[in-house]
Structure formats: structure tokens, C-alpha cells
Amino acid sequence: MPNLYGAWTRTRPRLLLALPPLLLAGAIVCAGLSWRTESANREIAALEAGRDRPVAADAPAPILLARVLQLARRDATEEMEPLVAALESRDAPALLARARYALGNARLRRALNLIERGQLDPAGPLIVLARQEYRRALQARPEFWDAKFNLDVASRLIRDFPEIDRQVGDELKAEPKKIWTDIPGQPRGAP
């Protein structure tokens, strides 16, 4: 016991001298992290308010997601793709799933606009790309119900418009297999 008390009396002054610089360093680090978080929150709020701000690919993941969502509202899919790719390298599967879902929605909206105007040929590839994005969103976050639902909708669009799969020719050669939907658990044939 006397050795422990003697060691404490020898090291206590050194610890008391080292404690203020350590506390100061910790306070500086906490202030820097707080400033960085506040700056990121301001950037996200500006993007959500609709202000167009460029975001670098090395920005924090929440800022990348905010920019992707802003671009999705404008259907700027070409600008979204590099940001979504940058999110893949981060360890944020929930944010990546939301970004892929937004990219799929933007492509599906564009495809639905084309379908409403009767332009089925250019709508097909967009639907296929939207389905791929929904699948990738589900790979990142398997319980993402909205992505499951939209994947189902996009898959049914391809089955409902079999001429999208047409390769050559002006006439649609409808096969009975391609007209009926494939609902699991439902018998094939007439409804």
C-alpha cells in the first residue's frame, strides 16, 4: 500500500499539469466536429429548400443524399448517377437505398410520361433501368417496402406492354404467355 501511495503522490502533479491541455484539446475537437455538423445541416437545409448548390463526390453521405433527392425532383438522372456511385463507397446502406430509390423513381416518372404520350419504345429501357435501381436499393436495404412496391409496379409495366420487348418489325406478335401476368399462387389462363 505505501508503494501505491508513493506512486500516486509522484504522478499526481504531472497529471494535474497534463489535464488542462488534454481538456483543451478535447474541447477544440468537439467544437470542430460541432461546426462541421452544423455546416452540413445548413447545406442539407439549403438543398431541401431548392437552392441549387453543387456537391462534390467526397462530401459527407447525408449531403450527397440531399443533393440526389433534389436532383430527383428535377428528373436530372444523369447528374444523380455519379453521386449515387459515390454513396456506394460509403458505409451507409440506408442512405444508398434511398438514393437508388430516388433514381429509380425519376426514371420511372420519365417512362410513365413517355407512355402517356404513346411513346412506348423509348419508355422500355427507362423502365428496365428503374427496375435495376429498385433491385439495388433492395440489396442495400432488403426491408425497404417502397422499393419493393415500385419494383413490382415497374415489373408489371413491362409485362403489360409486351411490345417494349419487341426487337424487330412493326407488328406485335403477341404470345399468350406474355399477355397474362404471372401472379404467384394464381392459376394461369382466363381470370
Q: Is residue 191 part of a domain?
A: no
* CB burial of residue 132 (10 Å; 0-12, 13-18, 19+): middle
Q: How far apart are CA 71 and CA 103, in angstroms?
A: 9
Task: Tell me if 149 is assigned to some domain.
Answer: yes
Whether residue 182 is contained in a domain is answered as no
Nine cell digits for residue 126:
427507362
Predicted local distance difference test score (pLDDT) of residue 160:
54
Q: For every one of its 191 residues, what pLDDT tens digit does the chain have, with 9 covering 90 and above?
A: 568 777 888 888 888 888 888 888 888 988 888 887 787 777 878 778 777 878 888 888 888 888 888 888 888 889 889 988 898 888 889 999 999 999 999 999 999 999 888 888 888 899 999 999 999 999 999 999 999 999 999 888 876 555 545 554 445 455 554 444 554 555 555 54
Of 186, 184, 134, 176, residue with least CA distance to 155 = 134
CATH number at residue 65: 1.25.40
Question: Is 13 inside a domain boundary?
Answer: no
Residue 144 is predicted with a pLDDT of: 93
In this structure, is residue 15 part of a structural domain? Answer: no
pLDDT of residue 188: 56
Cβ–Cβ < 8 Å for 69, 102:
yes
Q: How many domains does the chain have?
A: 1
**DSSP annotation string for 42-73:** HHHHHHHTT------TTS-HHHHHHHHHHHHH
All 3 cell numbers of residue 59? 462530401
SS3 label, residue 18: helix
Residue keyed to cell 474541447: 27
pLDDT reported for residue 137: 93
Task: Say which DSSP state 162 is in.
Answer: G
CA-CA-CA-CA torsion sign (46, 47, 52, 54) = positive
Q: Domain range spanning residue 83?
A: 34-171
Residue 30: its pLDDT value, please? 87
In a domain, 9, yes or no: no
pLDDT at res. 170: 47
Q: Is residue 16 part of a domain?
A: no
